[in-house]
Amino acid sequence: MDKKHYLLRIRLLGIEPEIWRRFVVPLDITLDRLHDVIQIVMGWTDSHLHEFTIGKKRYTEYPESTEDGLECGKYCLGDLIKQKGRNFRYLYDFGDSWEHELILEDNRYVYPELQSAVECLDGARACPPEDVGSISGYYEFCEAVKDPKHEEHESYLVWCGGEYDREKFSAGEVNWELLKYLRWSRERLRPWSAEY
């Protein structure tokens, strides 16, 4: 890998024990693509709006929805964050308000065994299910799912697809999804709208 890479650590704020990931991205990744990577490494489904806050500036997919928002697809992470140890925020789902903190752990990351331009190295615990109702809803959900006598046990299991293990995390599974993402989002020789 000839490109320069950043080693980032992300954690979901407000939940104990901590839900976190450590992953590598190229320093020239745009914020809209960083959003895609965060969705995959954390286990979200990209069903809601998001924004990055770096310093006092906010970057989002739809800047017209905020007074002071900037379009995230126009900015590269390496142009905005340079110093090792610098942190910034990522907010996902304006209703449930899942706030994440990202820290630049290494701004010159070199690892010869890196398999792709984007890779998850480590992490812990499963992300909350979508639309669970913020932090308090997540704790209520976890309590109901682990207790078969809880009045909401069966309905929550059906709602989340049959099972939920809050301790489950697999970097291998995340990396498989990242490889699929890289494959589908690659540049093409001809644009989609090319005339034949």
For the segment 13-36, what is each residue's pLDDT rounded down to a tens digit? 999 999 999 999 999 999 999 999
Q: Count other C-beta atoms under 10 Å from residue 127's C-beta.
A: 23
Regarding whether 74 and 59 lie in a shared domain, the answer is yes
Write the CB contacts of 61 (distance below 8 Å, at least 6 apart in sequence).
Answer: 32, 35, 49, 50, 71, 72, 73
Span 135-145, average pLDDT: 94
Strand 57-60 versus strand 69-71 pairing type: parallel
Regarding whether 156 and 77 lie in a shared domain, the answer is no
Regarding whether 38 and 27 lie in a shared domain, the answer is yes
Regarding whether 161 and 80 lie in a shared domain, the answer is no
More confident residue, 173 or 114: 173
Regarding whether 43 and 86 lie in a shared domain, the answer is yes
Regarding whether 88 and 46 lie in a shared domain, the answer is yes
For the segment 34-73, what is each residue's pLDDT rounded down to a tens digit? 999 999 999 999 999 999 999 999 999 887 666 778 999 9
Span 118-140, average pLDDT: 95
DSSP 3-state of 70: strand
Residue 190 lies inside a defined structural domain of this protein: no
Regarding whether 146 and 53 lie in a shared domain, the answer is no
Sheet containing strand 20-26, strands side by side: 69-71, 57-60, 50-54, 87-92, 98-109, 5-12, 20-26, 119-124
Residue 192 lies inside a defined structural domain of this protein: no
